[in-house]
Amino acid sequence: MRLSRAVLTAVVVSLAAVAMPASATAAPAAPERGVTDVVPAPVSAKADPKSDFRLTPFTVIAADRGAGQVADYLRGLLRPATGYPLPVVPHAVGLPAISLRLGHDARIGTEGYELKVARDGVTLTANTADGLFEGVQSLRQLLPSAIEAKRVQHRTWTVAGGTILDYPRFADRGAMLDVARHFFKPDQVKLYIDQIAQYKVNTLHLHLADDQGWRIEIKSWPKLATVGGLTAVDGDPGGYYTQAQYKDIVAYAASRHITVIPEIDMPGHTNAAQSTYAELNCDGKAVPVRTDTEVGYSSLCISSPITYKFVEDVVRELAAITPGPFLHIGGDEAHSTPPADYLAFEQKVQPIVAKYGKRVTGWHEIAKSNPPASAVPQYWDFGGDNASVAAAAARGSKILMSPANYAYLDMKYDPSTPLGQDWAALIEVRNGYDWDPASLVTGVGENQVAGVEAPLWTETIRTSDDIEYMAFPRLPGIAEIGWSPRATHNWDAYRTRLAKQSPRWTAQGINFYRSPQVDWR
């Protein structure tokens, strides 16, 4: 019997189907991405593979009034790799659209959003532009990682289907960059802003002055920057931001829905100021310049009126160029300031911050000075009992959590990490993720926690590559702890989601640490 060609083909095809390896039919390969893969994990996410949305050259971005800035930002994200025009329009009028809508939804607060991806369009709804911006960060993760490429990629662009309802656990999710130990130029700070914004980080704390360098122009004390800014750790080149450059960084951060918190550390960590201006020392003699990495040796002169003139001038000028509500006044490791002097200093300085319309934040040592309930102590110790921090929380202060043994991005991953320090801990990706801000400090529970911040001290950090290597992949973990519900916390699930982020980092040019704890793709 001769089989016709058609019959033969049919037999071969059905045989091939039977012969398919069991793994391919029983467990289809995990998709590259979906609504349940987003980092930080959303409050709720329901995937629907039948409702994928395709971006095409005809797709438009339809934006409500008040959503224009986020729409332009989204267009800027999607255009380089797609090459599509993606015009921003008020109404889609029949064209396939990504719609950005402002509404009133009591479930999602000021930073939450609802994202619906269907075959005929994507709808992102929030109560504020901040919420839309955070929703856009989820939306971009639903596209192939090639969307992060800087040049046109010829391929299809499918947004993974489904719905997300999402809002943050804590109001503050921050990153700190120490630009004092090593200086980073405005463009480097902006690059870091873009990198952290994608994980819904909403504050950037800039550590602007320390023993080794002063980094912000103060017009009434001009040599702080022009002389005190010349140095950096180990004799490396210094630098400073003019007030115009600082304002530009602040505006750039605002365009990424990030608030800048400037820090002038005092009464310790002040050698750069005291080597520049002799009158800031009790004996009227300038101290020598220092670029080593000792801490705790410097102190402003607590008994001198000039000290408070200096502080007020700095606070006034900084407050005038800082739209955010907080000024950070440091206060850590003031080992050369006697406790009574520390108290006297804090009680004089904190009202100066209030006088210029700002709220005080500072390292948790400020809690010893009975700060007002509006002040936010930033906890950096290892957890457990801390009477003054607990007392501040009991008086109504919220506490920002930056435990050095979990959240410090300058800690080495393991003994072989070429950068960083190890005084607090070695922090592998899992350690950096496995902690809970609401059960860290006795007496500071869920409602007393302002949020989390991941500080990056830069004694050993010199370049943007160095910043990226220490922040990635740990910063997304801290961001997730700050954003995602406690109930989503699960290392095994997280490490799988984290692995799927790495092609995005590669496309963005981020120099990340390939932790052996994660099965990178």
Which range in 92-100, 167-175, 241-249, 404-412 contacts ligand TNX by CB under 6 A? 404-412
Nearest CA among 515, 508, 509 for reference residue 494: 515
Number of DSSP helices (H) and strands (E) in the chain, helices first: 16, 19
Per CB under 6 A, 434 contacts ligand TNX: no
Interacting residue with ligand TNX among 312, 332, 341, 436 (CB under 6 A)? 332
Distance, in Å, from the CA atom of 130 to the CA atom of 309, rounded to the nearest integer, reads: 38
Per CB under 6 A, 175 contacts ligand TNX: no
DSSP assignment of 49-64 equals GGG-EEE-TT-EEEE-
Q: How far is the CB of 322 from ligand TNX (least distance, A)?
A: 20
Interacting residue with ligand TNX among 130, 172, 263, 410 (CB under 6 A)? 410
Structure tokens that stand for 22 in this block: 């069991």
Of residues 437 through 496, those in contact with ligand TNX by CB under 6 A are 457, 459
Helix (H, G, I), strand (E, B) or coil at 368: helix
* C-beta of 121 vs 331, nearer to ligand TNX: 331
Provide the mask over 333-362, with x wherever binding to ligand TNX is found by CB under 6 A and - wherever it is not: x-----------------------------
Structure tokens that stand for 505 in this block: 């980092």
Of residues 31 through 60, those in contact with ligand TNX by CB under 6 A are none
DSSP assignment of 8-52 equals HHHHHHHHHHHTS-HHHHHSPPPPS--GGG-SSPPSEEEE-GGG-
Q: How far is the CB of 412 from ligand TNX (least distance, A)?
A: 11
Q: Which amino acid is at 408?
A: Y
Per CB under 6 A, 363 contacts ligand TNX: yes
DSSP assignment of 477-507 equals HHHHHHHS-GGG--HHHHHHHHHHHHHHHHH
Nearest CA among 384, 495, 519 for reference residue 434: 495
Put the strands of the sheet holding 121-126 in their side by side order: 44-47, 162-166, 113-118, 121-126, 97-102, 60-63, 88-89
Interacting residue with ligand TNX among 89, 92, 254, 295 (CB under 6 A)? 295
Per CB under 6 A, 72 contacts ligand TNX: no
Which range in 249-257, 319-327, 402-410, 502-510 contacts ligand TNX by CB under 6 A? 402-410
* C-beta of 195 vs 271, nearer to ligand TNX: 271
* C-beta of 139 vs 470, nearer to ligand TNX: 470
Q: How many residues bind ligand TNX (CB under 6 A)?
A: 11
CB count, 10 Å around CB of 285?
A: 10
* C-beta of 157 vs 363, nearer to ligand TNX: 363
Q: CB within 8 A of 177, min separation 6: which ones?
A: 184, 189, 192, 204, 205, 206, 207, 456, 458, 467
Q: How far is the CB of 212 from ligand TNX (least distance, A)?
A: 10
Indicate if 333 belongs to the active site: yes
β-pair type (53-55, 157-159): antiparallel
Which range in 392-400, 403-411, 498-506, 511-519 contacts ligand TNX by CB under 6 A? 403-411
Per CB under 6 A, 263 contacts ligand TNX: no
The helix or strand, by DSSP H or E, that contains position 193, with its residue range, turns out to be helix 186-197
* C-beta of 105 vs 333, nearer to ligand TNX: 333
* C-beta of 248 vs 332, nearer to ligand TNX: 332
Active-site annotation holder among 114, 134, 333, 459: 333
Nearest CA among 359, 350, 293, 278 for reference residue 326: 359
Interacting residue with ligand TNX among 110, 188, 374, 421 (CB under 6 A)? 421
**What positions carry a catalytic annotation?**
333
Binding residues for ligand TNX, rule: CB under 6 A, are: 295, 332-333, 363, 380, 404, 408, 410, 421, 457, 459
